[in-house]
Structures are given as C-alpha cells and as structure tokens.
Amino acid sequence: MRENDTSTADIRRPARSFRLKKTVAFVGMMGSGKTAVGRAVSLRLNVPFLDSDAEIEAAANLSVPEIFQRDGEVFFRKRETEVIRRLLEQHSGILSTGGGAYLAQVNRESISEKGVALWLDAPLDLLWNRVRHKDTRPLLRTANPRATLAEIYAVRTPIYQKAELRVPCGHNVSIDAMAERVIETLLTRPDVMEQIDE
C-alpha cells in the first residue's frame, strides 16, 4: 500500500531504544556520580535530566552552600521535599537528588509512589577522592572533613539500602560504563523501563 516506505530502511538508528515508564531518582552519597551518570543515562534514553539541587538554586538564586548559610539546613530540606515532589509529577526522566534527600521518609515515599529509587553505591575511599578538593559541600566544612564524610557515610548507607535498585560504583569506571550499568539494571525492571524493538 505504501510503496515508498522502503526508503526509510536505510536511516541509521541507535543500537537500542528504550521506553522509560517512570522517573528514576538517583540517590546516594555526595560524590557518587548522581549528576554526571544521571546526565549520561538521560542522554542515552532520550529523556529529561532533572536535578533537585539545581532547581532549588535556580528558585532561590543562591547556591546550596549559600542557602545552608543564610537559611539553615531545615529550610533547605523543606524546599528540597517540595521540589522533589514537583519534579516527580512531571514527565518520566532521570532525577538527581541531593545526598541527604533520601534520608527523609516523606521523600522516600514520594519517590516510591511516583518513580523508583536507584542507589549509586560508591565506597568511602572513592567518595573521599572525589570530594576532597571541592569546597562546595557545606556538610564537609569541618575541622576533619574526612572523618565527617565517614560519619555521614555510616549513618546514610543503611537508608540508601532501602532503594529498590542498586548499582555499584568502582574505581576507574568511566561515566559511560556506569551509565551502561544503570541501563542494564533498569532493564531488570520491566515496570520501570523496557527495550523497544525497532
């Protein structure tokens, strides 16, 4: 019936195409790669990339450290909960959350109801190597930031373990390789994502 349809057969298509059915919220420690890996995954899946910290900063016209300093952590956490809830209501995509976001039960419930939590599980020494030279982490502005990071890690890890999905991070694993690990993990959950046959 459509005689000219064969002309489209030569169009190059990606090796694999996917359909994301719900928002994937990346959770984990500062330095685990939520933003970098999240961006890479969103590009591969051709879905929006959302960042709760960036949304808060844009609304306040201040950086996260400045918000902490001016208004305190309690104020920041309230805004964070509001922003995460709003972002989960939007189109399915990849959502990078702040390191402390998943600690709040209200955020865990919102993510579970509207999306799925994926924990980027990075070992402490890898995290320290990534954050030690940055001064953008308000919680690490202490006399002994390495010890502070270890304390935060010990407190938060049992809560991150509540995430439905987990992807281990390792030394010398590229962002692209991590993105591939995430995609393979998402494919284990057909209710979250499926591969589309072209």
pLDDT tens digits for range 49-83: 999 989 888 888 888 878 888 888 888 888 899 99
Say if strands 193-196 and 17-20 run parallel, antiparallel, or are unpaired: antiparallel
Roughly how many angstroms between the first and final C-alpha of the chain, as a whole number? 21
pLDDT on residue 4: 46
pLDDT on residue 47: 95
pLDDT on residue 6: 43
pLDDT on residue 15: 64
**Would you state the structure tokens that stand for residue 170, as one six-digit string?**
């390792």
What parts of the chain have a pLDDT lower than 70?
1-15, 135-136, 138-139, 197-198
Fold annotation for 19-187 = Rossmann fold (3.40.50)
The torsion region of residue 30 among left (phi > 0), alpha (psi -120 to 50) and beta comes to: beta
pLDDT on residue 169: 94
Sorted by sequence, the CB contacts under 8 Å of residue 79 that are 6+ apart come out as: 56, 59, 60, 67
pLDDT on residue 178: 96
CA nearest 34: which of 133, 160, 152, 144?
A: 160
Measured on CA atoms in the order 83, 88, 92, 94, is the torsion positive or negative?
Answer: positive
Measured on CA atoms in the order 105, 39, 23, 122, is the torsion positive or negative?
Answer: negative
pLDDT on residue 90: 81
